[in-house]
Each structure stands twice: as structure tokens, then as C-alpha cells.
Amino acid sequence: MDFKLSEREELLRKSIAEFAQREIVPLVEEMEKTGEFPRSLIKKMGDIGLLGLVTSPEYGGNGMGFLARAIAIEEVSKVSGAVGLALQVHHMACWPIETWGTEEQKKKYLPRLTNGETLGACSITEPSGGSDVFGLQTTAREEGNYWIINGRKCFATNSHVADVIVTVARTGEDEKGRPAFSAFIVEPSFPGFSLGREEHKMGFRGAFTGELIYNDCKVPKENLLGKIGEGLRIGLATVNRVGRSGMASVGVGLCYASLEEASKFAKERVLYGKPISNLQAIQFMLADIFALAETARWLTYRAAWMMDQEMPCDTEMTLAKLVATENAFQCARLACDIHGGYSAIQEYPVQRYLRDAWVSIPSGGTSQVAKVVLGRHVIKNF
């Protein structure tokens, strides 16, 4: 086993941390106020290479892979969980297009998605179901040279900023009579597509979350992603491998953000004539945050590394996501405890970490859904 990150990965962490400090930190306050994603950041994220982490160089990406992506999202999320979320969901559009797309689809969409022209989105959840995939009601029917999509997607990250959306709709039934789904690449300019409500969230403010409405939306036939009936497989694989590892990395970033702020505050805050970091009660909390953060990080890195090795890793991804997002909340809670009354004041970022961590828990499937997956794994394998 080798737990040492390579020189490449260390340099990546450093350069993304510098990027985050220079380009993202100045935007955070405005994002918190408006809830809007700063569009000017997309080109900059493209230029630095963040958008192309899981896309091959032949389609404009850098192909650094999933461990590199975990490190990069962690560093971004340390300064803004919202940008981390937007970035990770963007990869949820890139990866299925490269994995299941035709050569024409890859050439058409991936360069735009990696060079900073636009962000991508991957929208599966509906009011009637997300984790309950058979509850999805959106339909697609063939009509001439088009697929006609009808339905409404909700909780779509990057909803109001993405120009390339990977989505899933019912296209019939399988041989057992269960609903069969297919995946599609949709552009907001297609007739019949419109944006619905934009959610005002308590956390991840600055990352768009909203509704996508398909009202007889005409999607060209060549925008079917994968084969007819493969939609569920594409959607679930994308959520499991890209979405959960991405949310885990956002969680890791929030854990370390809490750790750094808590330590800084504890060393600066003087009570009874000494910094509160001298108090064992505070040291215990700092130790707890550290243990939670390290656990989250290494579970996340292992899962990402397994993905890079092309090993089956759905279980490890789910475990990493469960632990990292739950730990992010605990870390932020402890950091708030250390801050005392200051944690309620917006100038101190720990309250933002707490709000972001709370929203990270149901993103990509609730902790309870993750535990169902993991419980079944335990019963089957131990």
C-alpha cells in the first residue's frame, strides 16, 4: 500500500488551492447574498483545468482522473462548498457522455464542457422519485427525427446555468414489465424546454438548484445517450461513481475548512488570560474534528483511487459519501461550538460550513439510502 500522494497530485492540490484563494474567495460573499452562481468563474475553471478532470485529452480534458478530482474538489470546497458542488455535478455530465456517448456526441459536447464555455448538469430526480428510480414519471417517445420528452425534474444542480444536461426518461417497459428508461443529452435551447423555479437553499448558496421542465420538448434522435433502455444503468452509475465520490470530496473540503477555522480561532481567542486552545475541552473537540476529517478524506481517496484502477467501487463510493458528508456536519458543528457565540455571526465562515454540510447530506442520496445500500452489502458479504 502506498498512501503518499505523487508530486503531480501535491502540485495539483497547491495550484487549485491558489486558484481558489485568488478566484473564488472574493466571490463567496456575493454568492451567499444572491444565491447565484458567478458565470465569470466558468471560463476561469475551464482555463485552470478543473472542468476537464474526468475527460480525456482527445476531447479537450486533461484526464487526471478521480483521485485528482477528489483533491481538486476538496480544495475548491474548502473555500466554497457551492462551487465544489457545481463542479462535481458538472463532471456528472462529462463522464456519462464520454463513457456512453457516440463519437459525434463526444466531439460536439465535451470540448464545450471542458474549455469553460459552459457547465453541465445531470438531472434525474423528480418530485415523484429520486432514490426511488421507478417512481420517475418523465417520459420520452419517438416522433420522426425527435424524442419528445414530457415531465419535470427537480433539485437539479446547475439548473439555471448549464447548457448541456444529461437526463433520464421512461421510454417503455423491459421484458419483465418494469419501466425502462433511456438517457438523453438536452440543451436548454431545444423547443419545449424551460426552466422552472429556482430553489432558495439554506446551504450551498451560489450553486443553482432548480427545476427543469420538459413540455413536448423536442430532442434530436442523435441525442439519445447510450442505447434505448440503458438510461437507468447510465443514471445510477453516474450517481454512484461520479456523484457520490464528488459529494464525498465536497464533504472532505468542508471537514478541513472547519478544522482550519476551528484551530485558528482556538489559538486566537483568549479567555482567562490564555488562548482557549490551551484548554483540554477545546483540544478534545479539535482532535474529534481532525479524526472525522482524516477518516472522511481517506475513505474518499480510496474510493476515487479504485475508480482510477477501474475496480468495482460502488460500495466504497457510497461509504465515502455517507461518512464524508455526515462528518462534514459534525466537524462544522464542533467548529461552531469552539466559536461559541461568534458562530452565529456571518463574518465567521463556520456557520456557512454548517449550512453547506447539512445540505450535502441528502445530495446524491440521503444517508438512510446509503445505509440501505451498505446494509445489503454487509448482509451479502459478511
Footprint of another protein (CB under 8 A): 7-8, 10-12, 14-15, 18-19, 22, 47-50, 52-53, 62, 64, 68
Helix, strand counts (H, E) of the chain: 12, 10
Instruction: Decide whether 11 or 202 has the Cβ nearer to another protein.
Output: 11
Instruction: Decide whether 19 or 147 has the Cβ nearer to another protein.
Output: 19
Cell of 69: 478530482
- Tell me the closest approach of the beta carbon of residue 188 to another protein, in angstroms: 28
Written as one letter, the residue type at 263 is S
Instruction: Decide whether 178 or 264 has the Cβ nearer to another protein.
Output: 264
The partner residues of 166 in beta bridges, in order of sequence, read 122, 185
Sign, CA dihedral 17-20-25-30, equals negative
- Give the whole-angstrom CA distance, residue 370 versus residue 156: 20
Q: Are 353 and 205 in contact (CB under 8 A)?
A: no
- Tell me the closest approach of the beta carbon of residue 19 to another protein, in angstroms: 5
Instruction: Decide whether 21 or 194 has the Cβ nearer to another protein.
Output: 21
Residue 216: name the closest of 144, 120, 135 by CA: 144
- Give the whole-angstrom CA distance, residue 65 versus residue 56: 9
Instruction: Decide whether 229 or 275 has the Cβ nearer to another protein.
Output: 275
Task: Please give the helix or strand (H or E) that residue 370 lies within, else none.
Answer: helix 367-381
Cα–Cα distances in Å, from 350 out to 29, 203, 353?
A: 14, 12, 5
The partner residues of 121 in beta bridges, in order of sequence, read 165
Q: Are 298 and 323 in contact (CB under 8 A)?
A: no
Residue 120: name the closest of 88, 146, 152 by CA: 88
Instruction: Decide whether 22 or 197 has the Cβ nearer to another protein.
Output: 22
- Tell me the closest approach of the beta carbon of residue 144 to another protein, in angstroms: 42
- Tell me the closest approach of the beta carbon of residue 61 to another protein, in angstroms: 9
- Tell me the closest approach of the beta carbon of residue 51 to another protein, in angstroms: 10
- Tell me the closest approach of the beta carbon of residue 71 to another protein, in angstroms: 11
- Tell me the closest approach of the beta carbon of residue 63 to another protein, in angstroms: 9
Instruction: Decide whether 10 or 104 has the Cβ nearer to another protein.
Output: 10
